[in-house]
Amino acid sequence: MNIHKNAGKLAPKSTLINVPELISAYYTRFPDISLENEKVSFGTSGHRGSALLTSFNETHIFAVTQAVCDYRKKANLDGYLFMGMDTHALSYPAQLTALQVLSANGVKVYIAKNFGYTPTPVISHAILTHNKNSTSQCDGIIITPSHNPPSDGGFKYNPPHGGPADTDITDWIQNRANEIMKNNLLDVQKFTLEEALKSENIQQYDYITPYVEDLQNVLDMEAIAKSGIFIGADAMGGAGMEYYSAIKERYNLNMEVFNNTLDSTFSFMHCDKDGKIRMDCSSAYAMAGLITMKDKYDIAFGNDTDFDRHGIVTKSVGLMDPNHYLSVAINYLAQNRPLWRADLGIGKTLVSSSMIDRVANSLNKKVIEVPVGFKWFVDGLIKGDIFFGGEESAGASFLRKDGTVWSTDKDGIIMTLLSAEILATTGKDAGEHYKELTQKFGAPIYARIDAPANAEQRTILKKLSPKDVKETMLAGEPIEAILTNASGNNAPIGGLKVVAQNGWFALRPSGTEAIYKIYAESFIDEAHLKQIQTEAQEMVGKLF
């Protein structure tokens, strides 16, 4: 896509959202259930939308929260519901709406003290910690649209396993919510806000202390502190603002925390490549402010708004490509966690870099390759079959030092602090470690591009089988594998992956836009990558 003139620049004041207008729209606009884009729609990360587009309004939250309550009854869940929210302007009103419904349905809810903000991984950690020693099963709701623009809102549900709900649950909640909206909310049980806030079902809870105290069981916090390295922690105005300050104090870290006050316009952000404000910690445009500060700190990092993703900025390379950091993290953890079982595998999404496979092979570790979505790592992390699960979009989690589960959702906090541990214990930052990996295994070039596809074409791409591809060569090399199901768990990938010795591509149709995505990687050079991308589009052209 074309790069916007404001990309990498501080957001012009004229582009900032009007917060009062947005919140007013949340309460005064009502969705038309006959319009698809105004229904509740759970994607891979819950329901998202904007009040200004009538896709995230009070009506939606009344309906989807009642649907969650109905699901809990159906699933016989009677434990606490842990609720978190991020700093998007719509998150607080949505939490108040949800509390009206949850309290009226008799659901006991833990919210942050003083209506504070709670990162996604902290909710996962709380669910797992409680359920480990209790017969009553807890679950959670996180109100966040992740790194999406400031005008957006989001609503995610995590069942008792602590990770993202699978489609059998989200489809049920989505369909029930739309049925409730179609019935003019008659099935919604709700208190007034005043009644809800006085209800004994709503309890304020200290999420910060147990999570921060437990970090020493997943990371070498002592080594980080003793090293004295100067850390820059960009809270990016997100849900973990108070967490970095608490971590600094608890572990006596030489860390500067900034952008840690509430600003729901996110006026401190630099524009993403399309000129929009987007708290994408993997984007060099959005992270331009922190990148310019790289030489001030020994290591620096930031997180998206709900703190489930990480962005690592090193002196050696600046902002690390997410795939590069995943490779370094896996290589380091496999060799620096002596209590882990030798047979633990590595979870990766099928569009993540093959550098991970080469690193894993050198460590004699099995790679479990799954479709896109962190939900595919939940079972492996809980059972202790994998020590790491990572996505190419800068989301990952890993096990505690003793080999037991830490979180089953992406945890941007442990991933950023891991970069400090790596520097503290090895004397080299993650960028330097990645350079060493390329000297051993080659230097891959990775890219994602989008190509146009109408609804009919996207349906075709979703239902492909390996026999639909007639080609035997990819960019001058024999094709070694054609996959429409992930090799790690045989789950449908909703697209196609074609693999050769020194390159691969994967196709995935968008669920919301008239495009399909081409992920590709070459271990040879840029020209080879472009050849892979060209041949991928030619293959697709023959399928329509």
For residue 417, the surrounding DSSP H or E stretch is helix 412-426
Report the distance separating Cα 190 and Cα 177, nearest Å.
15
Report the distance separating Cα 512 and Cα 126, nearest Å.
32
Report the distance separating Cα 308 and Cα 125, nearest Å.
12
For residue 328, the surrounding DSSP H or E stretch is helix 322-335
Let me know the angle formed at the C-alpha of 382 by 381 and 387, rounded to the nearest 5 degrees.
25
Is-contact 327 355, C-beta < 8 A? yes
Is-contact 505 525, C-beta < 8 A? no
- Give the three-state DSSP class for 30: coil
Q: Catalytic residue among 45, 50, 124, 146, which?
A: 146
- Give the three-state DSSP class for 524: coil
Torsion of CA 398, 403, 406, 410, to 10 degrees: 20
Chain centroid to Cα 97, Å, comes to: 24
Amino acid at 121: P
Question: Residue 282: CA atoms inside 13 Å, Cβ hemisphere, count?
Answer: 21
Nearest to 369 by CA among 469, 460, 504: 504
Phi, psi dihedrals of residue 250, rounded to the nearest 5°: -65, -40
**Quick check: is 103 catalytic?**
no
The DSSP symbol for 138 reads P
Let me know the angle formed at the C-alpha of 145 by 130 and 380, rounded to the nearest 5 degrees.
45
Task: Point out the residues that are catalytic.
Answer: 146
